[in-house]
Structure 1
Amino acid sequence: MELRDLDLNLLVLFNQLLVERRVSKVADNLGLTQPAVSNALARLRKLLGDELFLRTPTGMQPTPFAEQLAEPVTYALGMIHSALNQRSAFEPASSTRSFTIGMTDIGEIYFLPTLMERLRQQAPGVSLSTVRNTAVNLKDEMEAGKVDLAIGLLPQLKAGFFQRRLFKQRYVCLMRQGHRLDKKKISLAEFSAAEHLVVVSPGTGHGKVDELLERSGIHRHVRLTVPHYVAIGHILQTTDLVATVPERLAQRMTEPFRLASHTHPAKLPEVAINVFWHAKFHRAPDNHWLRTLVFDTFVDEGGG
């Protein structure tokens, strides 16, 4: 089919249905009646020769063809939106803009001290807030412009998003200085025999490491389980517990908490930490400035 045969508003409606999965919600978002949305969907079905969305008890589910269209349509609409909403160049030195970044508690510990210093130097009027990647519907919040960037291991952000790698990192063993495992090489037997602190962080990607250790048949004597990484420095410095943590987190915690980190005895995969942003804001000067600041500050040499 030719583009001249297609009403762009039908693609906007298609994109809304991908996000909301309910005709009533799409009607509210677009200021239309439900019959108008249903009629528009019928037109699009006829034009494309596919049902596109099927009614189910859990909402309108996309067909395989609709899922195939999802990424290019979302990307194209985002680029059109950006082109039509170009603004003058962002001036960080005089701006009082407030940005929101999605990240985990690991991200806050690793990124924020350095990032806030860079903001102080380049954009003293700019403020920053963070949200947990797992505490909000990140995809919808970023599409709506409520979250500007997200940083982490986020496989759920695909269609309609750009991403760039900051770095890869491995996992290490973290413990107090003077611990009996505070030595250059730790055997699997010594690792298994130790008492462990485990962080349960569903939805962050780091939980897969615990699953991999279990599937590999590596037994751990877990004495303490916590839901986040914020307290582990305080806990490890006064106990004989050992934690498996990302290397860059360990780098931030060894000196202030008098901890030691060592190569992990298990064969664990490296993980890639990426920056994500929505295609709708790809050309927005303020978003471009912020992510460039993050890239310049944290991208490994050759890692971007």
Structure 2
Amino acid sequence: MKSSEYHLLAVFAAVVEEGKYTKVAKRLGITQPSVSQSVSKLRNIYNDPLFIREKLGVRPTAFALEIYPDIADAISRLDALSAKRIKFDPNSSKRVFRISTISLFEHTLIPTIFRIVEKEAPDVTLLVENHSTKVTKDMLRQGSIDIAIEGSVKTQSFIKSQTFYDDELVVVCGKKHPLFSKGTILEEEFLNNQHITLSSLSENNSFFERFSITCLDMLKKRKVKRQVASYWGLLSSVKDSDSLAIFTRKMAVANIDVFNLKILENDFLEQKVEASIFWSKSRSIDPSIVWLIDKVKEASIGSF
């Protein structure tokens, strides 16, 4: 391959990752015919079809999958070398950062991040958005967002992550609830009382729903009286009702007076939860992203 053809490798990696020429064209800012021409040139260079057309896009051949990791790694290294030349001074920067987060952190972590950044980087703009966790990893890779803050999951090799929050789930009710004066609840009592849950249509409910099969079977028996669209809707709705809800312990404790809560100890919810910061591997040494990740971690210390 000639040095003048190295740009074709970026197209190749994008096609493997996207599976559709239209998506690659949009991602790279080129036309779809340009994507097709690049793939055609690579087929001649490697003497392999590289991609097989299917109904919904293209599928990489065995050879394409074999060479993809090395090519993706080389592209990532080149991006990292470019990032090294970028200087970032928080005090004078007018950088705009886009952060995607689940609503759970909008009441606690995000305001703390705002305060920390305001002191250190007064002209930096933070735009917080709420995207489905199903699409944020692709958005990170494409540069649509800078970091994502959400439940910990395994991701593809082009995404880096770091856990910053761990907790357990507890049962909560209003402080004036007529029952549970001892601050404990049995499984039978849990099932015999009415509940407020996150809507199954909410993009956020997965953070609370990664239970064992046994626990899931038990939760299906709940008497769901109300459903809400956000985590904080759970506590707001529980506050003046006789319903129960499931929430994270640390955040319930931190807001126990705000929402007039009572935390009920139990032995049937054995669920641990973790949240992580996610970012594109290609930006791991971008000083502005490193700085932003540090601010999130700093904010988490004083938020929970």
Deviations along 1:13-40, one digit per CA (max 9) or x if unpaired, are 1122134423355356353562x54353
In structure 2, C-alpha distance between the alignment counterparts of 1:33 and 1:120, rounded to whole Å: 42
In structure 1, C-alpha distance between the alignment counterparts of 2:271 and 2:47, rounded to whole Å: 44
Deviation at 1:266, TM superposition (A): 1.8
Which of these residues, 207, 232, 235, is aligned with residue 233 of structure 1?
Answer: 235
Are the counterparts in 2 of residues 100 and 128 from structure 1 also a CA contact under 8 Å?
Answer: yes
Residue correspondence of structure 1 range 98-117 to structure 2 within 5 A:
98-117=96-115
* CA spacing shift, 1:74–1:138, aligned 2, 3 Å: farther
- Helix, strand or coil at the partner of 1:114: helix
* CA spacing shift, 1:86–1:221, aligned 2, 3 Å: same
* CA spacing shift, 1:70–1:154, aligned 2, 3 Å: farther
Residue correspondence of structure 1 range 67-146 to structure 2 within 5 A:
67=65, 70=68, 73-134=71-132, 137-146=135-144
Are the counterparts in 2 of residues 198 and 224 from structure 1 also a CA contact under 8 Å?
Answer: yes
In structure 1, C-alpha distance between the alignment counterparts of 2:153 and 2:65, rounded to whole Å: 17
* CA spacing shift, 1:163–1:125, aligned 2, 3 Å: same
* CA spacing shift, 1:5–1:268, aligned 2, 3 Å: farther
Once the two structures are overlaid, the 10-residue window that deviates more, 176-185 or 187-196, is 176-185
* CA spacing shift, 1:142–1:193, aligned 2, 3 Å: same
Are the counterparts in 2 of residues 194 and 242 from structure 1 also a CA contact under 8 Å?
Answer: yes
Are the counterparts in 1 of residues 152 and 274 from structure 2 also a CA contact under 8 Å?
Answer: no
Structure-1 residue corresponding to 2:207: 206
Deviation at 1:110, TM superposition (A): 2.6
Q: Any stretches of 5+ residues in structure 2 without a counterpart?
A: none
In structure 2, C-alpha distance between the alignment counterparts of 1:260 and 1:75, rounded to whole Å: 51
- Helix, strand or coil at the partner of 1:205: helix
The one-letter code matched in structure 2 to 1:195 is: Q
Which of these residues, 259, 262, 265, is aligned with residue 263 of structure 1?
Answer: 265
Give the superposed CA RMSD.
3.1
Alignment coverage as a number of residue pairs: 297
Deviation at 1:234, TM superposition (A): 2.1
The one-letter code matched in structure 2 to 1:83 is: L
Deviation at 1:6, TM superposition (A): 11
Which of these residues, 242, 252, 275, is aligned with residue 244 of structure 2?
Answer: 242
Deviation at 1:154, TM superposition (A): 5.2
* CA spacing shift, 1:67–1:184, aligned 2, 3 Å: farther
* CA spacing shift, 1:128–1:56, aligned 2, 3 Å: same
Structure-2 residue corresponding to 1:58: 56
Structure-2 residue corresponding to 1:285: 287
Are the counterparts in 2 of residues 167 and 299 from structure 1 also a CA contact under 8 Å?
Answer: no
Deviations along 1:48-95, one digit per CA (max 9) or x if unpaired, are 575442211111133466456555543431331131243443221222
In structure 2, C-alpha distance between the alignment counterparts of 1:64 and 1:166, rounded to whole Å: 38
Once the two structures are overlaid, the 10-residue window that deviates more, 98-107 or 7-16, is 7-16
In structure 2, C-alpha distance between the alignment counterparts of 1:247 and 1:167, rounded to whole Å: 12
The one-letter code matched in structure 2 to 1:109 is: H
The sequence identity of aligned pairs, in percent, is 22
* CA spacing shift, 1:118–1:30, aligned 2, 3 Å: closer
Deviations along 1:205-260, one digit per CA (max 9) or x if unpaired, are 32534784333476211111122123222211110111112223323431211112
Deviation at 1:130, TM superposition (A): 1.2
The one-letter code matched in structure 1 to 2:187 is: L
Structure-1 residue corresponding to 2:158: 160
In structure 2, C-alpha distance between the alignment counterparts of 1:289 and 1:217, rounded to whole Å: 41
- Helix, strand or coil at the partner of 1:109: coil
In structure 2, C-alpha distance between the alignment counterparts of 1:204 and 1:77, rounded to whole Å: 35
In structure 2, C-alpha distance between the alignment counterparts of 1:142 and 1:282, rounded to whole Å: 12
The one-letter code matched in structure 2 to 1:9 is: H
Q: Any stretches of 5+ residues in structure 1 without a counterpart?
A: none
The one-letter code matched in structure 2 to 1:169 is: D
* CA spacing shift, 1:76–1:298, aligned 2, 3 Å: farther
Are the counterparts in 2 of residues 166 and 298 from structure 1 also a CA contact under 8 Å?
Answer: yes
Deviations along 1:153-212, one digit per CA (max 9) or x if unpaired, are 153742311111113211111111132135343211111111100113346532534784
The one-letter code matched in structure 2 to 1:281 is: R
Structure-1 residue corresponding to 2:14: 16
The one-letter code matched in structure 2 to 1:101 is: I
Are the counterparts in 2 of residues 110 and 252 from structure 1 also a CA contact under 8 Å?
Answer: no
Are the counterparts in 2 of residues 165 and 299 from structure 1 also a CA contact under 8 Å?
Answer: no
Structure-2 residue corresponding to 1:192: 191
Deviation at 1:129, TM superposition (A): 1.7
* CA spacing shift, 1:46–1:245, aligned 2, 3 Å: farther
| Alignment TM-score, normalising by the size of structure 1 | 0.83
| Alignment TM-score, normalising by the size of structure 2 | 0.83
